[in-house]
Amino acid sequence: MKHLCLLIFCLSGYLVTPQNSTIDNLVADFERGKALSLAYVDAMPEDQFNFKPTPETMSFAEQMLHTAQGTFGLSANASGAENPYAGQNLQKDESLQSKAEVKRILEESFDFAIAGTKSMDP
């Protein structure tokens, strides 16, 4: 009987605590994606940011900016937040193709996604 009472007590505490595991898991995924993406940027030498394996592919900078653009767009659609770069093509903006700018935009996109996810109702 003691075990049953303890189990009921523990479960009642679990049931009255708000569960945001979905939100928490999504935030953790975005945090992990941010860390890995920024590590890629940090590892790439500045003079290789315009590297293209073939002429018809995106450069490293364009690919990272494409990732940021997708993160902004999808996060805005999911959260209802206004995309700060709506209507812009980040990967084609030559002023954003330096290592510092790519890192800034990529970090901003993940921070935008994390904030939007935290604001969502599970």
Q: Report in angstroms the alpha-carbon separations of 49 from 42, 93, 102, 112.
A: 11, 14, 9, 24
Decide if 75 contacts 22 (C-beta within 8 A).
no
pLDDT value of position 40: 96
Q: What is the pTM of this model?
A: 0.82
pLDDT value of position 4: 43
Q: Report in angstroms the alpha-carbon separations of 2 from 7, 8, 14.
A: 9, 10, 18
Provide the 8-state DSSP code for 96: G
pLDDT value of position 121: 85
- The tens-digit pLDDT sequence of the chain (122 residues) is 554 444 454 545 554 445 579 999 999 999 999 999 999 999 999 999 999 999 999 999 999 999 999 999 999 999 999 999 999 999 999 999 999 999 999 999 999 999 999 999 87
